[in-house]
């Protein structure tokens, strides 16, 4: 398999989806995913898997899609504008988890591949994973970034993808990142297809392992109603990002895609309270000091070659 | 007072705000509004009034603002683009109410005046009011539209402003209007200032009276937990509209205005449930048949001159 194969990527995504769903059902121990399939007339198909009202996961969406289109939307690529409006195939897996326990962080994974039928057939990958804690544990944040570092080639590669993540998941109106980040990349096709695909596979595997580890560490901890209220308020930030800022959600809403799939990422319960800082304790509000771009979680910035 | 006077409009808005706040506190009987003032260095000032966790109102925001700027933002006018980037003054009152009882509808009022220092001093008004029921009572919807009709000059004027409202408060990704509408107008400066100002005053007075009447009719009714869940889900649509579609919110988020004021319109508690249609009864879901543009609530379309 040294040739470019979207079939192989589809197979991997479908298998990864099945394993994530299985692992999450085991972790939850109570609820199961609703399993659906939707086919498009042109050969595309989607497999949403959504869990609602679990013991550990209040909502988890693990979605696979394969689509075939006549015109690559401009939103699909920034670096390769010459490809827009060409026929294409795309396949993606996306995961969003809203846990019940505010000590378990929310997480998000997205992996996608595009194959574009241009003068020369062109492919590229995109995706990444990020973490959004409510009650932050520094151990978990460092562990998460260690995992991110390990899937990358070296420190500089990690720092570049981490910076992408901090920049993309940023709420300017709040002056905050959405969470404590991770990695994020777009228009990725450096080198051989097989090496890029291996990188994407490694991200998927690492994600499942890393997030499961954190859930196992924290899901059994008690929480207070004040902490839960804090989580519901912080979920408001998540909804603000997804509805007002996220390019993928915007594109999904405007393009007439199945709206339940597009908005499956929204938190199950959200509170918006006017001037909530009047009500939550400083200890919890200290989370926001961790929600800034460029925090050197692994203490490696000084070791890296590129300090620009 | 036959001259153009933004001072007179400010005074009216401040007085109207005080009366709305007083009436709502009386209707609620339990909670009071947090009263704040914020001054800008350039002479502008804002008076947010927000009530939280009342017996009748779960959240109500009644905000006054007066602002002075060097450059009129493009978002301020569509019909008069030659005025953008000119020095201006603006004053506005906005009201959003999220009731506790799903039988009481959410409502929204906005009234604003711009005074632009162009070659010729130019003024215009904008605003309107609209209603968003959860459990719809046809009597209330008709009553609301009767009030809207009565502030307008005639049937055609009402139908024009109602159509604006249906068009503006529309969620394309849901194929639904935000609620059952009302009136909406922009760049309004037809005829004498004093007549336009009287129209705006009439809208403010009528709004307060109409909404109070509906609250008095419904706030004492019992409701079920199923009806409450339905309201929380429908509030999701409200958040979707405000965060993803509303021009005013978008402008406020991007322009660096005080974010707590900009987002005070968001519902206090919101649920997003994947495929909620699997869970709510048909009776409740029938609401959506009323959320379509162009419903002739008053049966007057055939009587109107302009049927285009």
The complex scores an ipTM of: 0.92
Mean pLDDT of B21-38: 97
Structure tokens at B248: 């005013």
Q: Phi, psi at residue A25, to the nearest 5°?
A: -65, -40
Place of tokens 């509408």: B181
Mean pLDDT of B80-93: 92
d(CA A90, CA A264): 20
Residues of chain A neighbouring B254 (CB-CB closer than 8 A): 172-173
pLDDT higher for B4 or B78?
Answer: B4
Q: Phi, psi at residue A10, to the nearest 5°?
A: -55, -50
Examine the pLDDT at B305 and tell me if it is beyond 70.
Answer: no
CA distances to A230, A289, B33 from A286, rounded to whole Å, are 12, 6, 28
DSSP class of residue B245 equals I
All residues at 6 or more sequence positions from B244 whose CB lies less than 8 Å from its CB, including other chains: A243, A244, A249, A250, A253
pLDDT of residue B2: 63
pLDDT of residue A256: 81
Task: Please check whether residue B238 is in contact with residue B178, taking contact to mean a CB–CB distance below 8 angstroms.
Answer: yes
pLDDT higher for B40 or A183?
Answer: A183
pLDDT of residue A301: 86
Percent of chain B with pLDDT over 70: 96
The residues pairing with A106 across neighbouring beta strands, listed in sequence order, are A132
All residues at 6 or more sequence positions from A78 whose CB lies less than 8 Å from its CB, including other chains: A186, A187
All residues at 6 or more sequence positions from A119 whose CB lies less than 8 Å from its CB, including other chains: none
d(CA B212, CA A19): 55
Query: For the purposes of burial, counting CB atoms within 10 Å of the CB of B163, is it exposed (0-12), middle (13-18) or buried (19 or more)?
Result: middle
Mean pLDDT (chain B) is 93
Residues of chain A neighbouring B271 (CB-CB closer than 8 A): 268-270
pLDDT of residue A262: 95
CB environment A151-180: b (16+ within 10 A), e (fewer): bbeebebbbbbbebbbebbbbebbebbbbb
All residues at 6 or more sequence positions from B17 whose CB lies less than 8 Å from its CB, including other chains: B47, B49, B62, B63, B64, B93
d(CA B64, CA B95): 9
pLDDT higher for B189 or A306?
Answer: B189
All residues at 6 or more sequence positions from A175 whose CB lies less than 8 Å from its CB, including other chains: none
Mean pLDDT of B182-211: 96
Mutate to test the interface with B, among A272, A275, A278 (most CBs of B within 10 A): A272
Domain architecture of chain B: domains with CATH: 6-303 (3.40.1500.10)
Mean pLDDT of B40-49: 94
Restricting to A residues 9-68, those with a Cβ less than 8 Å away from any Cβ of B are: 34, 50, 52, 59, 61
Q: How confident is the model at residue B308 (pLDDT cuts 50, 70, 90)?
A: very low
pLDDT tens, per residue, chain A with 308 residues: 468 999 999 999 999 999 999 999 999 999 999 999 999 988 999 999 999 999 999 999 999 999 999 998 887 887 888 898 999 999 999 999 999 999 999 999 999 999 999 888 999 999 999 999 999 999 999 999 999 999 999 999 999 999 999 999 999 999 999 999 999 999 999 999 999 999 999 999 999 999 999 999 999 999 999 999 999 999 999 999 999 999 989 888 988 889 999 999 999 999 999 998 777 777 667 788 888 888 888 888 876 555 44
pLDDT of residue B283: 66
Task: Please check whether residue B74 is in contact with residue B99, taking contact to mean a CB–CB distance below 8 angstroms.
Answer: no
Q: Cβ–Cβ of B259/A174 closer than 8 Å?
A: yes
Q: How confident is the model at residue B1 (pLDDT cuts 50, 70, 90)?
A: very low
Q: How confident is the model at residue B298 (pLDDT cuts 50, 70, 90)?
A: confident
Q: Cβ–Cβ of B264/A254 closer than 8 Å?
A: no
Catalytic residues of B: 108
Alpha helices by DSSP H, chain B: 6-28, 138-151, 155-168, 193-218, 225-240, 247-254, 259-262, 282-285
pLDDT digits (tens, 9 = 90+) for B198-216: 999 999 999 999 999 999 9
The answer, for A280 touching chain B at a CB cutoff of 8 Å, is: no
The answer, for A272 touching chain B at a CB cutoff of 8 Å, is: yes
Place of tokens 């308020």: A233
3-state secondary structure of B54: coil
pLDDT of residue B294: 87
DSSP class of residue A112 equals E
Extract long-range pairs of A79-85: CB within 8 Å, 24+ residues apart: A79/A186, A79/A187, A80/A122, A80/A124, A80/A187, A82/A118, A83/A116, A83/A118, A83/A122
The answer, for B273 touching chain A at a CB cutoff of 8 Å, is: yes
pLDDT higher for A224 or B287?
Answer: A224
pTM, two decimals, is 0.93
Structure tokens at A53: 């009202």
Query: Whole-angstrom distance between the N-terminal and C-terminal Cα of chain B?
Result: 38
pLDDT of residue A2: 63
pLDDT of residue A5: 96
Q: Phi, psi at residue B294, to the nearest 5°?
A: 80, 15
pLDDT of residue A73: 84
All residues at 6 or more sequence positions from A205 whose CB lies less than 8 Å from its CB, including other chains: A16
């Amino acid at each position: 398999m040294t040739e470019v194969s979207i079939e192989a990527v589809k197979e991997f995504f479908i298998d990864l989806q099945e394993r994530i769903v299985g692992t999450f059902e085991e972790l939850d121990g109570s609820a199961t995913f609703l399993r659906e399939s939707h086919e498009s007339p042109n050969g595309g198909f989607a497999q949403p898997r959504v869990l609602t009202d679990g013991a550990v996961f209040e909502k988890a969406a693990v979605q696979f899609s394969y689509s075939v289109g006549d015109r690559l939307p401009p939103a699909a690529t920034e670096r390769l504008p010459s490809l827009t409006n060409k026929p294409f195939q795309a396949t993606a897996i996306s995961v969003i988890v809203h846990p019940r326990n505010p000590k378990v962080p929310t997480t998000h994974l997205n992996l996608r591949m595009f194959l574009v039928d241009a003068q020369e057939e062109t492919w590229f990958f995109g995706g990444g994973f990020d973490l959004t804690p409510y009650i932050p544990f520094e151990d978990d944040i460092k562990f998460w970034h260690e995992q991110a570092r390990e899937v990358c080639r070296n420190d500089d590669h990690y720092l570049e993808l981490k910076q992408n993540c901090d920049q993309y998941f940023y709420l300017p109106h709040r002056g905050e990142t959405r969470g404590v980040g991770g990695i994020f990349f777009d228009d990725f096709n450096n080198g051989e297809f097989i090496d890029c695909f291996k990188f994407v596979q490694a991200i998927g595997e690492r994600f499942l392992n890393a997030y499961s580890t954190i859930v196992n560490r924290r899901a059994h901890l008690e929480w207070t109603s004040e902490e839960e209220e804090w989580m519901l308020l912080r979920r408001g930030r998540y909804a603000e990002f997804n509805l007002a800022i996220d390019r993928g959600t915007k594109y999904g809403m405007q393009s007439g895609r199945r709206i339940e799939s597009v908005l499956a990422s929204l938190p199950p319960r959200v509170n918006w309270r006017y001037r909530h800082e009047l009500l939550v304790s400083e200890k919890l509000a200290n989370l926001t000091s961790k929600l800034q771009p460029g925090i050197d979680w692994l203490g490696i910035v000084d070791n890296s070659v590129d300090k620009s």
